[in-house]
Amino acid sequence: MDEKKAVAVKVSDISLSFGGVRALSDVSFDVHEGEILAIIGPNGAGKTSMLNCINGFYHADRKGSIVYKDRELIGMKTYDIAKLSVARVFQGIQTYGGMTTLDNLMTGMHLTLDYGVLASFFYFWSKAKKQEMEKRRKIEDIIDFLEIKHIRKAYVGELAYGLRKRVDFGRALAMEPDLLLLDEPMAGMNLEEKEDMARFILDVSEEKQTTMVLVEHDMGVVMDIADHIVVLDFGKKIADGTPEQISKDPVVIAAYLGEEGN
C-alpha cells in the first residue's frame, strides 16, 4: 500500500448493537484513496454490518466516527451519503427484473443529474437533454466495459445469475462513485464468472482510481485483488495489513481454522 495516499475514509471506534447482541466492538481502520480494502472474517464476524454503518443503512453508536470527504457519516441518511458519491452493491441482487439491462443501468445515474423541474418541462431546449445524452454515453461505455452489449435490451429477470450480478455492478458504476462498497459481489458465481468480476473490479480501480471497500469470502480472490485487508472476528478487529501480512498472521489463521488464538 502506498503510504503517501490520503485517507479517504476514517473509521474510528465503531460499535453496533442489536439489543443484547454486539455486532461490532470498537472497530477502527483507514481506507486510503484509490485502494481496494477487503474486510474478511468468519460468518457472523460483522463484515456486512460494517458496510451498513458506512453507508448509513445501520446507525453506529454515537461515540464512534466515520469520516468521508470531511463529513461525519454517522447520523446521516442513506440517500445523503449516496449524494457524496458513495455507491453500494448488496450481497443479494437488487436489480429490477421487469426492466432491461439498459434501463437498470439508467436508474443508477439519477443522483448525478442536477437539473430541476423547469428544465425538465423545457426538456428539448434546456440542459436536461444535454445532461441525459451525456449520461447515456457513459452508460454505453459501462455496457462495453462490462461486456454486456448482447444483453442490453434483455429483461434482467430472464438473465443468468452471473449476468444479473454484472448488471447490478454496472448500475453502481453508473452513479460515478468515488467510494464503492461491494458486499460479496462474487457470491454464487462459478469460477469463470468470479475471474471476470475480479478483472472488472481491478480495471475500475486502475482506470478510475475508485476507492473500494470489499466484503468477500473467497480468500483466493481477496489475496489477488486487495491492497489492504481488515480482519474481523465476533465483531472485533483482529488484524489489519497487507495481503502478505494477513496470510501469515497466526491470529487470523486460528480464527479461520477455529483454533484458539495466541
CB contact burial 148-161 (16+ within 10 A = b; e otherwise): beebbeeebeebee
Give the torsion sign (CA, 145, 112, 85, 214). Answer: negative
Give the strand pairing for 228-233 and 236-241.
antiparallel
Residue 61, pLDDT score = 84
How many other β-carbons are positioned within 10 Å of the β-carbon of residue 17?
13
* Cα–Cα separations (whole angstroms), residue 21 to 4, 130, 151: 38, 51, 44
107-139 confidence digits (pLDDT tens): 888 765 554 544 445 555 556 667 677 778 889
How high does pLDDT run on average in the chain? 88
**Global pTM?**
0.87
* Cα–Cα separations (whole angstroms), residue 121 to 52, 116, 125: 37, 9, 9
Q: Enumerate the domain spans of the chain.
A: 1-85+177-262, 95-174
Strand order of the β-sheet with 36-40 is 86-89, 179-183, 211-215, 36-40, 228-233, 236-241
* Residue 92 pLDDT exceeds 90: no
Give the strand pairing for 211-215 and 179-183.
parallel
CB-CB contact of 216 with 207 (8 Å): no
- The residue-averaged pLDDT of 71-88 equals 94
Predicted confidence band at 145 (pLDDT cuts at 50, 70, 90)?
very high
* Residue 74 pLDDT exceeds 50: yes
Q: From the options 3.30.390.30, 3.30.420.40, 3.30.420.480, 3.40.50.300, give the CATH code of 1-85+177-262.
A: 3.40.50.300
Cell numbers for 34 = 484509490
CA distance 14 to 41: 17
